[in-house]
Structure 1
Amino acid sequence: MFRTTRRVRRVAVTTLVASSFALGGAAFLAPTAGAAVPAASCTVTPGPTGSVVITGEGFTAPRKLNDGESTQPLNVDANGNFRETRFQKNVNYTVLAVNEDQNFIFVNCKVLAKPSPDSPTSKPNKPPQNSQADFRQGFKDGFGVGRPAALKSCDGRPQADKSQQHSDSYWKGWNQGVGAAFRQACKG
């Protein structure tokens, strides 16, 4: 019985000492209580050429970027921001402090999803490609414009508003849609 009590006491003391070391380490990584330090953040965004763009804000210089294999200095500006382009895509990037007294000893960079080709921000402002879908949409739009015009008068067809950017297939479909509307409404 005496040995069991001693063993329980030893486990309790060991747990208490280990937790105090763990809390002391967490306090070391956190900024001082009196300082109002903005949170530092780092993001990794897939680039257009198969690269990644690494950006950060809220850092104090000097800093280093670690990719798991190497550590290189970062160019942190006066506002605490940096921007780097790298070609190692499947890597976990971490921003490291150079001096021990710096806030945010290390910050793991968050990887952002690659923008989908269908998202509005990734689509360029150019006419859509020539396709059957463009032709069908043009036909539908042309028929929608041509039908009321044909019901009003079979003498004059509406003109296409070419100020809108569309593909050649769209405009061919639009003209055929107007023609179909006039043929249907102006029989005889």
Structure 2
Amino acid sequence: MHRHTRRTVITTLLASSFALSGAVALAPSAGAAVPTASCTVTPNASGTSVTIKGEGFTAPRNLNDGESTVPLSVDANGNFQVTRFQKNVDYTVLAVKEDQNFTFVNCKVVKAGDTSGNATGNNAKDAKRGAGDGYRAGRSAAQKSCDVKATPNKNQQHSDAYWKAWQTGADAAFNRYC
């Protein structure tokens, strides 16, 4: 009986050890940037249609408007753009495969000409510039004091991609130098 109990305890401990080590190996590191996917809906100036833009997606994806689902053409960089004529609906980007990240992403409606969403220029360039600006701000904050992290000056007009990359860059620099 004593031998059986000892074997059971050892087997349980080993199984728990393997399970926990697997969970730790699969979890992202604390400083790792978690990629994001986003989608915006921008009405045209005349109000007759909307442009739907997305970034950070893996293909294949579908677009759902509450009544119908259509396939999206996602490029190699994870971006897509479509024009639709249903203006007053909620759009959602859906994953087609079960193993895709971001199973569904609700699209954010922005005003025509609004630069706070992904509706501005080249998001890859915005993100690259945001990461660089954020890194410099994070390094500067760390050199002053390791007690206060850098905060963005959101009085400037930039895309969501810029601000997300800015924060990632600032955090990376702050963590590196502190």
Q: TM-score range by the shorter chain?
A: 0.3 to 0.5
Q: Tell me the TM-score normalised to structure 1 length.
A: 0.42
- The structure with higher relative contact order (CA 8 Å, sep 6+) is 2
Q: Tell me the TM-score normalised to structure 2 length.
A: 0.45
